[in-house]
Structure 1
């Protein structure tokens, strides 16, 4: 009887006691964790790839900037000035100048193929003097051009060394190309001034040969004047 009463009291106590909530337990999922780690690693790899791509683009832009950088040195002014001095000397040619119209006129006047029978001694002497002046002017001009070319060659030696140094120190394709272009311009300038010198020398030689040929014609004309018509002396009866 007492046993049944105790059981009944315990049941009542349990029924009247407050009910406590069951706390939730954290459950570790290895599969989910590994997937999260893998996704984070992939995201980090993508970020690293983007950083390397940006670095490569920056390097490419820097290289492009180097290739587009201009050369600080220019020899164009010196080349133009040297050619200008030679052209001025060539333009100062007197007598038989380097012009077709003037050359033809002066040559026809002072270097005739044949003198007329009516030519006077004064005319012959004047023409001979004019031809001598032409030859002297041509020789003088040739020597001036030669002197200018020699001076230019001396200056070109330093210019060539400077351009070679600039070409070797070029940091990009544009600087190297500009240095190469200036080297080609220097070579062209030397060829042009050589042609000018050859023209001056040929002019002097041609005038000297023409003077020699004209002297022969003048001698013939003077001899004919000396002989006259063969009736200069008339014996007395």
Structure 2
């Protein structure tokens, strides 16, 4: 009996100290909950900001790619061909070329000085040469004009294609390239106008020089007739 009482006395405090698991309590802390919610909200906002930055960077890269995209249309070969044709027409000028030294030599031998005071046969030969100079210059001018007129269809086609390309351009580079090609087309047309002006001026100058030579030669012939 004495031993049993001692065992019960020792086990009683243990029963009091160990609460039953079924009666465990969960403590709710409003402050801690609010702090956790605020942290989660801030983290979500940071993620959204990062996503927005990534989207902005992607949009910027796409815009840069568009700006660096070359124009799929080039009229350079057409313009070069047209300018080359006009240059060849000018270079094929008959008898008197577009060269300062050549002009000086021809005028010295056919349009002035001793060329107007030679014997009768020489004067006739020089007059015939001057007539051919004028006729060939007029023909050259008409050839240049015909070539320039032939370039008009190509110029119109190039302009229409460039206008369409510039309106559908996807970036700054394409717009700039379309504008540069339009300027090149205008430069080619100005070159054609310059060629026409040069060819017409050459023909007019030779016609005026021929007329002046005829007058000078006529005076020389009259002087000789009066002297005889």
Alpha-carbon contact 1:67-1:171 (below 8 Å) kept = yes
> Residue 68 of structure 1 contacts residue 172 of structure 1 at CA under 8 Å; is this kept in 2?
yes
Matched residue, 1:47: 47
Contact 1:113 1:214 in 2 (8 A): no
Q: Which runs of 5+ in 1 are unaligned?
A: 1-7, 231-237
Alignment of 1:93-112 (within 5 A): 93-112=93-112
CA distance in structure 2 between the aligned counterparts of 1:219 and 1:17, rounded to whole angstroms: 159
1:174 aligned partner: 173
Higher helix share: 2
Counting matched residue pairs gives 221
Q: C-alpha separation between the residues in 2 aligned to 1:159 and 1:26?
A: 83
Aligned to 2:9: 15
**Closer, same or farther: CA 115–148 of 1 in aligned 2, 3 Å:** closer
For 1:133-179, what per-residue CA distance to the aligned partner results, in whole angstroms no more than 9, with x for missing partners?
A: 11111011101000011011122111111111111110111101110
3-state SS of 2:102 partner: helix
Q: What do the CA deviations read for 1:108-129 (whole angstroms, capped 9, x no partner)?
A: 1110156575x21110111011
- Tell me, yes or no, if structure 1 residue 213 matches structure 2 residue 212: yes
| CA distance in 1 between partners of 2:27 and 2:163 (Å) | 78
Other-structure match for 1:189: 188
The DSSP-based 3-state class of the residue aligned with 1:181 is: helix
* 2:223 equivalent in structure 1: 224
Structure 2 runs not aligned, ≥5 long? none
Alignment of structure 1 residues 134-153 onto 2, 5 Å: 134-153=133-152
SS at match of 2:27: coil
Hey, what's the Cα distance between the residues in 1 that align with 2:101 and 2:138? 22
Deviations 1:51-79 (A, max 9, x none): 11101110111011111111011111111
- Pair 1:80 & 2:74 matched: no
Quick check: 1:66–1:171 contact (8 Å CA) kept in 2?
A: yes
Using the alignment, how far apart are the partners of 2:10 and 2:168 within structure 1?
Answer: 99
Contact 2:74 2:181 in 1 (8 A): yes
The answer to whether residue 92 in structure 2 is matched with residue 92 in structure 1 is yes
C-alpha distance in 2 between matches for 1:155 and 1:45: 60
Q: Are 1:160 and 2:154 an aligned pair?
A: no
Q: Distance in 2 between matches of 1:85 and 1:115?
A: 36
Say which SS state the counterpart of residue 135 (structure 1) adopts.
helix
After superposition, residues 19-38 of structure 1 pair within 5 angstroms as 19-20=14-15, 21-22=18-19, 23=21, 25-38=25-38
Q: Aligned-pair distance for 1:41? A: 1.3
- SS of corresponding position for 2:26: coil
